[in-house]
Amino acid sequence: MSWRCHTYTRRAKNLGASPVKEICMMERRTLGTNGLEVSAIGLGCMGLTGAWGAAPDRADLEALIAAAIDQGVTFFDTAQVYGPLTNEALMGELLAPYRGRVQIATKFGWATGENGKPDGMRTDSRPEHIKAGVEGSLQRLGVETIDLFYQHRVDPNVPIEEVAGAVKELVAAGKVRHFGMSEAAATTIRRAHAVHPVAAVQSEYSIWWRRPEEAVLAACDELGIGFVPFSPLGKGFLTGTVDATTTFAENDLRNRIPRFDAENRAANLAIVRLLEEIGARKHASPAQIALAWLLAQRPYIVPIPGTRRLDRLTENNGGAAIHLDEADVHDIAEAAAQIQIIGARYPEFHEARTNL
């Protein structure tokens, strides 16, 4: 894909000695076969309501979203369970001034707890639950139609054909434009796609978590489905700003992730050193190389790094300006394959709900 970028003079600041590419206005990519066009890099918004520590001030959030729009980001990712519910409401307010210029993705499929909010512990993709949930999402987001509606996790108790059928009805009713799936296996994706076209699959994918390469990306190739990597920077680890001595806020999700145990972090720094080495040659930061590597995998891949900081936003978006040729991509993958990553990416109970 050609990456001719419009001139954009702002440069990332406060990034220490790390080399950083100048940011440019991004090209756009298409997810699926029905014309869902989005920016090549999106913004994962889960952390804006405090998943990685205290939530930022409202003025800082408004500045972050304005900068993202200014830099060409049009694709914003939220979910019913983030907050829970408060993240959708926040994004509805923050993106209201940009209606018609952005695409919003949200997710359904968690059971409702005693407080009436999704609890993230039990799946519930019964058609009646999906249809009731979409009404709340529409209200909180302040839109008439949701651009991309993902099943957040596959529900083993509900046939995927019923889920796809329910979303198909929502599309026909004008409440949803495109259907997506998250952390689903290739066989499940094919079954759903046979009922209603899947525009995008969102799963974790990065240079240190490559499971989608085993079968899911081949299914996307075959069916014309876009792929949206979440945690493309390894929940911050691939930025080079986390090491064995880093401490996280008490409510930071990484405190519960085995891969982020201090001992494991020390061992896993080898993958960061590889990105730093490539970055030195390309005059780019480790984060930018990690994102450029993903963008080079397929023309339909759209990573959604999350951040709450303006400097990191600009740094991440600069990854779209970096060209990695076929040899670069191969060399990075080959070198990464020689590095053993230590620790599971999720606690065991959470991992059991993925790749169904």
Mean pLDDT of 60-74: 97
* Mean pLDDT, all residues of the chain: 91
Architecture of domain 28-236+294-323: Alpha-Beta Barrel (3.20)
Residue 82 annotated as catalytic: yes
Residue 20 pLDDT > 50: no
C-alpha span between 47 and 52 (Å, rounded): 6
Q: What is the pLDDT of residues 282-340, one digit of tens each?
A: 999 999 999 999 999 999 999 999 999 999 999 999 999 999 999 999 999 899 999 99
List Cβ neighbours of 37 (8 Å cut-off, separation of 6 or more): 28, 29, 30, 31, 103
Taking residue 85's Cβ as centre, other Cβ atoms within 10 Å add up to 19
Residues 6 or more apart from 39 whose CB is under 8 A from it?
A: 26, 28, 29, 72, 73, 74, 75, 302
C-alpha distances in angstroms, 6 versus 21, 74, 108, 111? 14, 16, 36, 45
Contacts of 290 (CB under 8 A, 6+ apart): 206, 207, 232, 233, 234, 238, 275, 319
Can you give the pLDDT at residue 183? 97
CA distance 74 to 98: 9
pLDDT for residue 23? 47
Q: What would the mean pLDDT of 77-100 be, rounded to a whole number? A: 97
Is it the case that residue 2 has pLDDT exceeding 50? no
Task: Pick the more confident residue, 23 or 132.
Answer: 132
What tens digit of pLDDT does each residue of 170-200 get? 999 999 999 999 999 999 999 999 999 999 9
- Residue, of 291 and 349, whose pLDDT is higher: 291
Identity at 64, one-letter amino acid code: L
**Residue 207 pLDDT exceeds 60:** yes
Residue from 8, 82, 150, 205 carrying the catalytic annotation: 82
Reported as a single tens digit per residue, the pLDDT across 215-271 is: 999 999 999 999 999 999 999 999 999 999 999 988 888 999 999 999 999 999 999
Residue-level pLDDT at 311: 97
Q: How far apart are CA 325 and CA 20, in angstroms?
A: 19
Domain ranges for the chain, please list them. 28-236+294-323
Average pLDDT on 37-41 reads 98
Can you give the pLDDT at residue 25?
A: 67
Pairing of strands 118-123, 110-112: antiparallel
How close are the terminal C-alpha atoms of the chain, in Å?
32
Nearest partner of 152 among 180, 126, 129, 187, judged by Cα: 180
8 A C-beta contact, residue 14 and residue 311:
yes
